Amino acid sequence: MTFTKQWFTAIVTSGTAGTGGLGGRRKLKSLAGSMRCTTWAARENAVSQISVVDVSKYWGATRAVDGVSFAADAGSLLVLLGPSGCGKSTTLRLIAGLEQVSGGRIFIGGADVTALPPAKRRIAMVFQSYALFPHLTVAENILFGLKVRKVAAAERDRRLERVAALLGLERLLARKPAQLSGGQQQRVALGRAIIAETPVCLMDEPLSNLDAQLRAEMRREIRSIQQKLGITMVYVTHDQSEAMSMADRVVLMREGKVEQAAAPDDMYARPATVFAARFIGTPPMNILPAAPDIAAADQVLMGVRPEHVMLGHDIGMPLRVRGVEFFGADTVVTCAYGEATLTARVPGKATLSAGSAIRVHWRPEDLHFFDAASGRRRDDVMTLAIGDAKQFVHAGLA
């Protein structure tokens, strides 16, 4: 999707020019510093939650978004998660008003904004590409939207000081984007969204261009800012660890539809489908044929997370180790399981090597069951399994 200046102007100028804010004299030294939460976002958030109701977007035969519904509570961070092409960016752009829906309705703060242009939706947006103006300095980039909105100079200066301190940009304000690292450019893009002081902020894969360490830092900073300012945020990513660590609620998308919407810990503990089970968690959940002695075994798949597979020499089914990868804090051991592979993640360094004989087992309550045809979760089978644990601990033992 290409970015245009017109859109940018609409998006960053969409906040009201109200006199909200944090009080000019208070200086924010760092994100870890204390900050009272009587912010514009907290005040306005009484009505700033987002509802997406049965929204679709078609381009000819392409159903980019197909009957999607979800809601973000006021002051919460909702992550749209899913593989490339599943419709995350399109959904975000529909919320922003950068695309028109083919069907359905979008509400922000209780008001139906479906037909409103971006500038009337009172949101800020951070694009994946940063979309900074190369000819403007950092300060000018951050202030661009406020100038367009003709916010008074004193107010602009006050907000700039605050945002620069919040993001550690104080000493970079006179530089041009080309003189910044990727992470610094990212902060400028964030600053431009934050300074608008809108209660709703949309972010499209804002950290994907950063290295792993910086990404982890920025993810904590964004979450911290979102919580401290009480912003309602919709954040797009294809990185499940980002979703798990940041979100209050995760909406997992697949081929234009919502696969599952849940709090991160619920999605991890009770994935609704095989797709959700394998998308959340790393390495992905093992999905195996169910033990032959369970009812309707041929119609059921059994899932167990690598971190729930226990290795030993005394109990469980005997398997042969195929590979061992040491990651410092833990080791991932892959074993041959019939034609398939079973992955185990064990703490520390495992003294195993390819070809070692090993036994594996797991607690029955750590098993998940799915319908083999539809991929949907089958909690009825789970109950049976816990009732007769022994069979499943030794599942696959032949």
Ligand X SMILES: Nc1ncnc2c1ncn2[C@@H]1O[C@H](COP(=O)(O)OP(=O)(O)OP(=O)(O)O)[C@@H](O)[C@H]1O
User: Interface residues with ligand X (CB under 6 A)?
Assistant: 1, 59, 62, 64, 82, 84-90, 238
Query: In terms of CB distance, is 162 or 254 closer to ligand X?
Result: 254
Reduce the DSSP state of residue 216 to 3 states and report it.
helix
- Between CA 91 and CA 113 the distance in angstroms is 14
Q: Taking CB within 5 to 8 Å according to partner kind, which of Mg ion, ligand X, none is near residue 368?
A: none
- Between CA 164 and CA 184 the distance in angstroms is 11
Reduce the DSSP state of residue 47 to 3 states and report it.
helix
Q: How far is the CB of 88 from Mg ion (least distance, A)?
A: 5
Query: In terms of CB distance, is 85 or 289 closer to Mg ion?
Result: 85
Near Mg ion by CB under 5 A: residue from 45, 56, 89, 186 = 89
Q: Taking CB within 5 to 8 Å according to partner kind, which of ligand X, Mg ion, none is near residue 326?
A: none
Query: In terms of CB distance, is 89 or 185 closer to Mg ion?
Result: 89
Q: Taking CB within 5 to 8 Å according to partner kind, which of ligand X, Mg ion, none is near residue 86?
A: ligand X
Q: How far is the CB of 115 from Mg ion (least distance, A)?
A: 24
Query: In terms of CB distance, is 208 or 245 closer to ligand X?
Result: 208
Q: How many CA atoms within 13 Å lie on the side-chain side of 350?
A: 23
Backbone angles phi, psi at 328, to 5 degrees: 100, -80
Residue nearest to Mg ion (CB): 89
Q: How far is the CB of 186 from Mg ion (least distance, A)?
A: 16
Q: Taking CB within 5 to 8 Å according to partner kind, which of ligand X, Mg ion, none is near residue 64?
A: ligand X
Rounded to the nearest 5 degrees, what angle is found at the Cα of 130, between the Cα atoms of 126 and 136? 115
Stretch (H or E) spanning 226: helix 212-229
Q: Which residues are CB-contacts of 62 (< 8 A; sequence separation ≥ 6)?
A: none
Dihedral angle over CA of 22, 25, 31, 34, nearest 10: -80
Q: How far is the CB of 329 from ligand X (least distance, A)?
A: 29
- Between CA 263 and CA 260 the distance in angstroms is 10
Q: How far is the CB of 56 from ligand X (least distance, A)?
A: 12
Query: In terms of CB distance, is 67 or 85 closer to ligand X?
Result: 85
DSSP strand pairing (232-237 vs 77-81): parallel
Q: How far is the CB of 7 from Mg ion (least distance, A)?
A: 15
Q: Which residues make up the interface to Mg ion (CB under 5 A)?
A: 89
